[in-house]
Structure 1
Amino acid sequence: MAGLRAPKAGSARDTQMRIDSSFDPVEARKCLEWIREMTGENFNTDVGPEKYKVVENFWRVLRDGILLCKVLNVAVPDHIKCNFNSPTFRPTGNPQFQSARERERIELFNRKLEEFGVSPDNCFLVDCLYERTNLWQVAASIRALGTEYESRPSFTGMRWWPRKSEVNPRVFSQEVLNAGNTIINLQYGTNKGATAAGLNFGKKRMIMKE
């Protein structure tokens, strides 16, 4: 667990500090508010303007994977939804089993994200959340889920996230395509009008009699 790991040092510490600095408290609060709106669950989303408090709250609310799977079930079709009756979601008094099941839920969330159509680049590793190594990527995954959900034709509610980019193909006639062959693209360069006239490199050789 995160509290049992030795603190990072050297270049690893510098890298972690750069990752932590990219965390956006405003975006994280928006993610939690969207999850609360979607699931109807009651949890705290506003802990003040201090960044460290926002980070701590974001991590603690999402760390066990329950809310992630709940918001996923609201957004995705029935054949992708998580089965909350499976052993993964059953409580246990064994700390080792509990930790393993929390990790399984986070992994399940990311696997279902890809099935829903979210790019693997927008998913995150389990340790990004569970060990809080990259909470910025967790927020990015939640945003990607919301964007994908709101891009479906069946969506009619209020938009929270930017619109998903759409394909806009261009179709040119063969006549237009052939017209491009008559133009020399200056990116390739041209020797039209090239001449050596006027070139003068260096000083002329001076030969003098003694």
Structure 2
Amino acid sequence: MYFQVQAKYDVEQAQEALQWISDLTGEQFDTNGQKDNFYQQLRDGRKLCQLMNALNPNSIPKINSGENSFKLMENISKFAAAAKSYGLSDAETFQTVDLFEQMNLHQVCLCLHALGRKAQKKGLSGLGPKEAEKNERNFSAETLNQGNSIIGGQLGFNKGIAKS
């Protein structure tokens, strides 16, 4: 299972995500999408917190620094919570261990791309394709009833059917 998850990791998507973070935060760093670099750039959660603050000012007022593992994991956790309040679903975010212990860097990358789509929808610099908008349609009862009188294309067409 672990290897299947790791095989989904896409270097190009990771590089796009790191470049987007660099552009939005104004911080220059190595945006190479290789797994080791992706992990090293994001493992302490600081850049993720800065990204959220760039998208939604003061969404994470205190960003922890230092090398205390619990404080760094708290940064990642704060990012995930802020991303959810920004509009991401649980399925689009990731668990702290996915990043901190390199359990699922693919999911981290997917989360960043989902966040990029939300940012685009809110008129900010985004990442990846534009998020689809809901296109709900309401038909009158008369229109729905007219649909009942149409014979389906296959109905009544029986040429070529073998008879037993």
**TM-score over 0.5 for the pair:** yes
For structure 1, list consecutive stretches of 5 or more residues without a partner in the other structure.
1-14, 48-53, 191-197, 200-210
CA distance in 1, matches of 2:108, 2:124: 26
Amino acid at match of 1:68: L
The answer to whether residue 154 in structure 2 is matched with residue 179 in structure 1 is: no
Q: Indicate the percent of aligned positions where both proteins have the same amino acid.
A: 32
Among 125, 129, 132, which residue is 1:162 paired with? 129
Residue 57 of structure 1: aligned partner: 37
Residue 3 of structure 2: aligned partner: 17
Please give the TM-score of this superposition, normalised by the length of structure 2: 0.86
Please give the TM-score of this superposition, normalised by the length of structure 1: 0.68
Q: Deviations over 1:154-195 (max 9, x none)?
A: x265x53211110112222221111233357699x99xxxxx
For structure 2, list consecutive stretches of 5 or more residues without a partner in the other structure.
157-162
Indicate if the aligned counterparts of 2:25 and 2:51 stay in contact, CA closer than 8 A.
yes
Among 5, 14, 24, which residue is 1:38 paired with? 24
Structure number with bigger Rg: 1
CA distance in 1, matches of 2:44, 2:60: 15
Amino acid at match of 1:163: K
The answer to whether residue 73 in structure 2 is matched with residue 103 in structure 1 is: yes
Q: Cα RMSD (Å) of the superposition? A: 2.4
The answer to whether residue 60 in structure 2 is matched with residue 82 in structure 1 is: yes
Following TM superposition, the consecutive aligned residue runs of length 4 or more in structure 1 with deviations greater than 6 angstroms are: 184-187
CA distance in 2, matches of 1:102, 1:129: 11
Aligned length: 159
Indicate if the aligned counterparts of 1:76 and 1:149 stay in contact, CA closer than 8 A.
no
Indicate if the aligned counterparts of 1:146 and 1:161 stay in contact, CA closer than 8 A.
yes
Residue 66 of structure 1: aligned partner: 46
